Amino acid sequence: MRKIALFLVISILAAGCQKEIKASDLAKINGYWEIEKVISSDGTKKEYTINDTFDYFELKNNSGFRKKVSPQLDGTFLVNDAYEMVKIQNQNGKYFLQYHTSFSKWKEELLVISDQELVTLNDSKNEYHYKRAAPINILGNGQKTQ
């Protein structure tokens, strides 16, 4: 019971300290994101130190898609045909990522977006923390990948 109470207090304090997301911030979602950790509704934290997939977002005018991509050692990415359609909607001053596929629909509240950090909250109250991802290039000639 103490853990739950502590989690609630910390969550309320954190929510009060969050920077308000502006419409101009939404373009920062575009690009590659790597999951860092998930904090479940009961406060359990799962850290992800190595990921074999990144999330790639491409949005224009608050609409677009999210794809899972696999970084390769030469700085490229493997992709497949699977994707999720995404729309950003403002509801009562909060921004939501609304996803849909031919099989399912769900939404996540956008809690934080910056150049290097993305945090979302799903309907089950699980928080997803992402960091900006970059291509991996350890096989190349030392040149920066595009």
pLDDT in tens, 29-84: 999 999 999 999 999 999 999 899 999 999 999 999 999 999 998 888 999 999 99
In order of 72, 74, 108, 109, 146, the CA distances from 143 in angstroms are 15, 11, 37, 38, 9
In order of 11, 21, 93, the CA distances from 65 in angstroms are 30, 20, 23
More confident residue, 73 or 120: 120
More confident residue, 17 or 139: 139
pTM score above 0.85: no
